Chain A
């Protein structure tokens, strides 16, 4: 039966085992997706990710061109190189999608996220929170005698680091916008 004498492999590999020729290392990519700002477009993009089992680490969306009815969706996603290529191709074939930019491969990009962080406490902890906020250039946008709301802008890593520092100092609430990103230069 095996007329070509090709070595039989293990039958445990299934037909659905997507053997990835480009490598199995998971990468994080930031995609900027330019879409028509029409009803249901976000549901389409999110439905694509959930339906095909892709990851969304961060997602931001807002209209960026009112007259042209365009919105920009910034998605941070993780996957093997083959999966990232599939995600881009799948996004590209949605009818309201105009452009898909992979900011991670198209060159250097700046990424920023805004977070608001509420820290409750008095005494030393309150002083320490204020001192650290200063170092991180976080602004106080609300304060009571027992709490602060800090506003911090930066890379997601910077926001993460600040949040970690605030945890032992009385952190009670976090609101993050998700990543906005843009390619550098012209």
Chain B
């Protein structure tokens, strides 16, 4: 397959050989040769975003909803620096992404040339790996290696920086290698002894819990299938992180809801009180653990993760298993069945009784209103009216995001795209575009806050240009709601700069972009308005004016233990004092 071609031709050929169908990008001087090649072919679709950050989040949405890597093309200097937030986001949430950036010609590097930036230097800490390619002969193999690194082991973003002279020069194209010979081959198969230890403890567990995370989604649908089989086979209760929603169905009988800072009472209490914890593809993040020294104090902990550095980083575990979550779960399931599918059914039955008590707390209850739309109510209606659709949900960051996680149910993996680790406001809208590109006939809804949504609202141009019927469901509280909630609980109700002043008229804004705008202010109109949004064939901005000072509960304040949850307004007085206030 060795052929002579220019560097720019190699880029396009390598993308084709990697099975890429879509590239999200924005042109500029340093990538013009590549854009010239893109112009002269039809296999790869290029989506012109309106800001490079939008390209990265769109690629993340594409990747997370398909399991394939997202591809981004940006120019040098400002093009590359604008992509930094999205790469950091993808690194934190383990999203496979390949970013190709143009660079000034090799002979100008280091001269402070026009639109020169030290892109590999800037992006070194926010990529899994990156390369500056100074020789066209090395370009094709570097791009293939970039795809290998982005998608193998714990997935993540990579960047290939390509100087303009390398794009123009001729070289020999090498095709995608059949087997990757690089030494970078992360271990996927779990250790047999560790798996045995995990199964032995599982069989005896009286108060077990499965705590699953984004690693199960990343591993693919076989991992979710194994997780479901193990959960339903053992009858163990299961909870999941924000990133792991959908791996086990929300309608499943063992589902306790999400855990963590805004997780359900029953999930957090079960984490606290369990005697056996099976952590699968999650990483004991501080939003999950709360106070580390009070985290699940009496449990035997098993941790399955493909990244050895996740193990024992925050919580010491009894049985670490390094491997792909899907493969390890399948091995656990097989061994457990071989040994006779034993569980401590008596203990587990009592445990479920205890959980039933916790469920009675009804931790997601809120005060309903006939006059104002409660954000929780809006999401309950959205859930009811869209559940039967082939539906994908993205979110922005804030209270609305947590309410979406609490009130929407996910039956399958890859249906829920949200910025977890980095918490990037402005993620959801471009992500919804990426999802819609990958799933043109599906219903794609971005549950947004008005402040987050404005951060990447320029992408309305992209949605209209490609006629992407993405639904922007904005829970508009005219506040930076999550910030306001913390100020209320932590800073004596001094609401410093947490208003969204001078908001645009979202209906007129939609109109100005050539999209449809819908305003809804009355709970009585909500169902009809949502149906109008769903049935409209094209992008919609839905401005849903909601209660302005609603708080998101339950909440474990930073620095508190799982069994120290705030359940509602009455329990918030003096909730966060002392050093807890210093935490984010």
Interface residues of chain A, those whose CB is within 8 Å of chain B, are: 1-4, 6, 8-9, 11-19, 21-22, 39-40, 43-44, 47, 51, 82, 85-86, 89-90, 92-96, 98
Partner of B578, one of A3, A11, A18, A85: A11
Do A15 and B567 touch across chains, with their CB atoms under 8 A apart? Answer: no
Which A residues touch B124, using CB under 8 A?
Answer: 40, 43-44, 47
Say whether chain A's binding surface is mostly helix, strand, loop, or mixed: loop
What is the CA–CA distance of A21 and B315 in the complex, to the nearest angstrom? 9
Query: Which of A2, A14, A39, A51 has the most chain B CB within a 10 Å cutoff?
Result: A14
What is the CA–CA distance of A13 and B557 in the complex, to the nearest angstrom? 12
What is the number of residues of chain B that contact chain A, defined by CB distance less than 8 Å? 49
A147 CB to nearest chain B CB (Å): 39
Closest residue on chain B to residue A6 by CB atoms: B563
Do B293 and A9 touch across chains, with their CB atoms under 8 A apart? Answer: yes
Contact with A along B309-332 (1 / 0, CB 8 A): 101111010000000000000000
User: Known: A51-B125, A93-B308. Contact between A1 and B567, CB under 8 A?
Assistant: yes
Do B291 and A3 touch across chains, with their CB atoms under 8 A apart? Answer: no
Which A residues touch B578, using CB under 8 A?
Answer: 11-12
Apart from A18-B314, A19-B292: 6 A-B pairs, beta carbons within 8 A: A6-B272, A8-B563, A9-B293, A14-B291, A19-B293, A89-B308
Do A47 and B293 touch across chains, with their CB atoms under 8 A apart? Answer: no
What is the CA–CA distance of A170 and B161 in the complex, to the nearest angstrom? 52
Closest residue on chain B to residue A5 by CB atoms: B563
A39 CB to nearest chain B CB (Å): 7
Partner of A85, one of B129, B132, B312, B357: B312
What is the CA–CA distance of A94 and B184 in the complex, to the nearest angstrom? 9
User: Known: A11-B559, A15-B558, A47-B124. Contact between A21 and B292, CB under 8 A?
Assistant: no
What is the CA–CA distance of A86 and B582 in the complex, to the nearest angstrom? 25
B574 CB to nearest chain A CB (Å): 11
- B412 within 8 Å of A (CB atoms): no
Which A residues touch B279, using CB under 8 A?
Answer: none
Do B560 and A11 touch across chains, with their CB atoms under 8 A apart? Answer: yes
B297 CB to nearest chain A CB (Å): 7
What is the CA–CA distance of A19 and B272 in the complex, to the nearest angstrom? 17
What is the CA–CA distance of A9 and B292 in the complex, to the nearest angstrom? 11
A107 CB to nearest chain B CB (Å): 22
Which A residues touch B354, using CB under 8 A?
Answer: 3
Which A residues touch B560, using CB under 8 A?
Answer: 11
Which A residues touch B314, using CB under 8 A?
Answer: 18
Of the A-B pairs whose beta carbons lie under 8 Å apart in the complex, a sample of 25, sorted by A's number, is A1-B564, A1-B567, A2-B564, A3-B563, A6-B273, A8-B294, A9-B293, A11-B560, A11-B579, A12-B559, A12-B578, A14-B559, A14-B583, A16-B292, A17-B293, A19-B292, A40-B120, A43-B121, A82-B312, A82-B316, A86-B312, A89-B308, A89-B309, A90-B309, A98-B183
Do A11 and B297 touch across chains, with their CB atoms under 8 A apart? Answer: no
Partner of B125, one of A8, A9, A15, A47: A47
Do A4 and B132 touch across chains, with their CB atoms under 8 A apart? Answer: no
Do B316 and A8 touch across chains, with their CB atoms under 8 A apart? Answer: no
